[in-house]
Structure 1
Amino acid sequence: MRLLPILSFFIILCSISAVQAQDMVSGKVLNASNDLPLENVNIVNLNQVKGTTTTSEGDFEVQATVNDTLYFSYLGFRTIQVRVTNDWLKYGSVKVKMTELGIALEEVVVSPITLTGYLEIDVKNIPIYENSRYSISGLNSGYEGGSYSPGAAAKALGAIFNPADALYNLFGKKPKQMKKLRKMKENDEIRSLLQTKFDRQTLAAVLQITSVEIEEILARCNYSKDFMNSANDLQILDAISGCYEEYKVLKR
């Protein structure tokens, strides 16, 4: 009789281990043209908002369950999305092949800045972006001012009159996607990934919105064009997240 509780304990333990094992999928990412492994490929589970990168041998492991979608991105290669299947979990590691992009480089004209060697003169010739982020006490809204954001004052006045309505059309219709923002901010792998990206593709894929909608959100949250064009994806994430938190306060 004493063996029954012990046996039950081991059965439960094995079941838990099996479930935990199914929560991880592994594989190898290869270049489709030559089957060579790709290092530092960015991989994000769009459903669970978990991220990782491939090793020098192209290997990866990430938390996932059946029907989760994994998003693969790598500079110079076409991004792909792969669905996690029962067979993947059952038979183990799979090979994922990525295709190189054919990029036609356009002519780039660089306007040189002539330096005189005199610090006081040269400093005046170098363009400086002086946009600053401001907030209005009690309004829970911010805006940018500066020579590269001439409409900041008008946007601030607009925010005073009806800020909640302006943001409802953007955030109110996508509550599930916006809730992923917090998960993205808490995941160190994804934060590191976004810090090196400027194309908004990963953000758009995780939040299930377009790059145009990202720009619209930032515009409604009173961020300047200069910020939108120069910020990396992590800065964009933090900006959208801050605006979403303001929206939730105003909604109450």
Structure 2
Amino acid sequence: MQKIITLLLLVLSISIYSQNDQSKLKGQIIHGESKKTLSAAHVLNLNSVEGTITNDVGLFELTAKANDTVLVSYLGYSSIKLKVTNDLLKGNELVIALYEKPEEIREVVIKSTQLIGVLEVDVKQVPKDRFTRIHINGLPQTYEIGRPKGKDFSSPLAGLFQPVDFLYSLFGKKPKQLKKLQKLKKEDGLRKMLAGKFDREVMMEYLEMDRQELSELLTDCNYSEYFIKKASDLQMIEAVLDCYENFKALKKGKIERNKIPVDKN
């Protein structure tokens, strides 16, 4: 009995120590040149998947512990990743300066549809909506109507590196990454934050992909180029998780079918 009490006290002590190990990281986000405060900047702890948004004067407060990595981002500005040290958790407010990204001006080609006023002819001239999505009963994911870009996986080696296979393998080896994405999708505060983000940085961090690889993954999941360019980070996370669940179900179904004994009679 005494051993049991001692064990319980030890577990309780470890739990209390673990809770006390977490502190509040406090700081302010400012413009790197004008020094003006930035309100509604995003601050996300990549380890604990907890996030917050700066207030009207750029201040934030976030739970963190030593060695956590914090991603700080603001629309139109270069994001930074901050490694939390014990010194940063001693109560002193941290001032983080973000700098505007250089603006890229791209050539835009505008094409018009020539209509002549005859309904039978004009209907054929109007382009069809290639991004209409349909729902298939039994599957949670919707799919976009249109001819997907074909990929050549003719060699056995190329077939091993299909983006969806890589995703399935990644989540199998690192289930914590999957849980982090699921938490981002589930919690209201994080959903609200990601609904206004379009930089893909959180996804690239958790999926261990660059921007091009992420685009290829969504294309492999039957999402259009339009969706990949215009979707918010929240929509992208939902799309990747839906794609993974469908792929897992198909994979499991294939394995189950292979297990069915064949009647030789």
TM-score, normalisation: structure 1: 0.72
The residue aligned with 2:3 is none
The residue aligned with 1:171 is 168
Helix, strand or coil at the partner of 2:36: coil
State how far apart, in whole Å, the 2-side matches of 1:115 and 1:134 are. 33
The residue aligned with 2:157 is none
**Aligned residues: CA RMSD:** 3.9
> Is the contact made by 1:142 and 1:222 (CA closer than 8 Å) also made in structure 2?
no
State how far apart, in whole Å, the 2-side matches of 1:210 and 1:237 are. 15
State how far apart, in whole Å, the 1-side matches of 2:51 and 2:208 are. 16
Q: Once structures 1 and 2 are overlaid, which stretch shifts more, 19-28 or 164-173? A: 164-173
- 1:27-76 deviation digits (Å, cap 9, x = unpaired): 11111213221111111111111111111111001121111111111122
Shift of 1:195: 1.4
- 1:182-229 deviation digits (Å, cap 9, x = unpaired): 111123232112212333223223433222222222222222333223
Matched ranges for 1:54-203 at <5 A: 54-111=54-111, 128-135=129-136, 144-146=143-145, 149-151=146-148, 167-174=164-171, 175=174, 176-203=176-203
Q: Once structures 1 and 2 are overlaid, which stretch shifts more, 63-72 or 98-107? A: 98-107
The residue aligned with 1:227 is 227
State how far apart, in whole Å, the 2-side matches of 1:48 and 1:210 are. 22
Helix, strand or coil at the partner of 1:209: coil
Shift of 1:112: 6.4
Q: Relative to 1, partners in 2 of residues 1:77 and 1:130: Cα closer, same or farther, differing over 3 Å?
A: closer
Ranked by relative contact order (alpha carbons within 8 Å, sequence separation 6 or more), the top structure is 1
State how far apart, in whole Å, the 2-side matches of 1:151 and 1:184 are. 29
State how far apart, in whole Å, the 1-side matches of 2:66 and 2:137 are. 46
Shift of 1:179: 2.8
Q: Once structures 1 and 2 are overlaid, which stretch shifts more, 84-93 or 97-106? A: 97-106
Q: Relative to 1, partners in 2 of residues 1:107 and 1:242: Cα closer, same or farther, differing over 3 Å?
A: closer
> Is the contact made by 2:144 and 2:223 (CA closer than 8 Å) also made in structure 1?
no
Identical residues among aligned pairs (%)? 32
User: What amino acid maps onto 1:242 in structure 2?
Assistant: D
Q: Relative to 1, partners in 2 of residues 1:249 and 1:191: Cα closer, same or farther, differing over 3 Å?
A: same
> Is the contact made by 2:131 and 2:224 (CA closer than 8 Å) also made in structure 1?
no
The residue aligned with 2:243 is 243
> Is the contact made by 1:134 and 1:145 (CA closer than 8 Å) also made in structure 2?
no
- 1:103-162 deviation digits (Å, cap 9, x = unpaired): 24345455568999xxxx89x85874552234375xx5867343xx2139x89xxxxxxx
> Is the contact made by 1:32 and 1:97 (CA closer than 8 Å) also made in structure 2?
yes
> Is the contact made by 2:40 and 2:54 (CA closer than 8 Å) also made in structure 1?
yes
In structure 2, stretches of 5+ residues that fail to align are 1-11, 117-121, 152-159, 253-265
> Is the contact made by 1:198 and 1:232 (CA closer than 8 Å) also made in structure 2?
yes
Q: Once structures 1 and 2 are overlaid, which stretch shifts more, 193-202 or 105-114? A: 105-114
State how far apart, in whole Å, the 1-side matches of 2:76 and 2:148 are. 37
> Is the contact made by 1:195 and 1:232 (CA closer than 8 Å) also made in structure 2?
yes
> Is the contact made by 1:180 and 1:207 (CA closer than 8 Å) also made in structure 2?
no
The residue aligned with 1:4 is none
> Is the contact made by 1:43 and 1:70 (CA closer than 8 Å) also made in structure 2?
yes
Helix, strand or coil at the partner of 1:173: helix
**Size of the alignment, in residue pairs?**
226
State how far apart, in whole Å, the 1-side matches of 2:109 and 2:251 are. 47
